[in-house]
């Protein structure tokens, strides 16, 4: 990974079980872009290994790059309109397939059509 400029950040055990410790998960970052960081274990009891918290210090925001973002706004009117349109839809085509994958694809295409129509 170092040949690509990526270096490991976790230097503490991630899994402790039956007198055995290991670092099974790691985060690799490019140190040329971010040299100041801290990584801490997060013992949450949800898994057999601990989570990680990474804090990046002195983040520099790139202001010369322009990005276009699309944001969907959901409100009660749009959700009601979506539900009404879906209720008028004939679902016979979805149920006519014997293959569950084809049925799902048909359902998803119908649902996404109305979702994109009413979520702007």
- 103's tokens: 């049925």
Residues 89 and 43 in one domain: no
17-55 pLDDT, tens digit each: 677 777 777 778 877 665 678 888 877 766 667 777 888
Is residue 104 included in any domain, yes or no? yes
46-93 pLDDT, tens digit each: 666 777 788 877 766 666 777 777 777 778 888 888 889 889 988 898
Secondary structure class of 42 (helix, strand, coil): strand
Number of domains observed in the structure of the chain: 2
C-alpha R_g of the chain = 24
Containing 52, the helix (H) or strand (E) segment is: strand 51-56
pTM of the full structure? 0.39
- 4's tokens: 């690509």
Is residue 70 included in any domain, yes or no? no
Q: What is the domain range of residue 92?
A: 76-118
The band of 107, judged by pLDDT with boundaries at 50, 70 and 90, is very high
């Amino acid at each position: 990974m170092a040949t690509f400029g990526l270096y490991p950040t976790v230097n503490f055990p991630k899994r402790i079980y039956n007198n055995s410790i290991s670092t099974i998960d790691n985060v690799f970052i490019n140190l040329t872009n971010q040299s100041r960081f801290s990584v801490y274990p997060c013992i949450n009891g949800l898994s057999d290994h601990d989570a990680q918290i990474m804090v990046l210090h002195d983040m520099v925001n790139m202001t010369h790059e322009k990005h276009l973002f699309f944001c969907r706004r959901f409100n009660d009117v749009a959700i009601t309109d979506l539900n009404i349109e879906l209720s008028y839809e004939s679902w016979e085509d979805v149920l006519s397939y014997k293959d569950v994958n084809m049925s799902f694809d048909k359902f998803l295409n119908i649902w996404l059509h109305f979702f994109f129509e009413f979520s702007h």
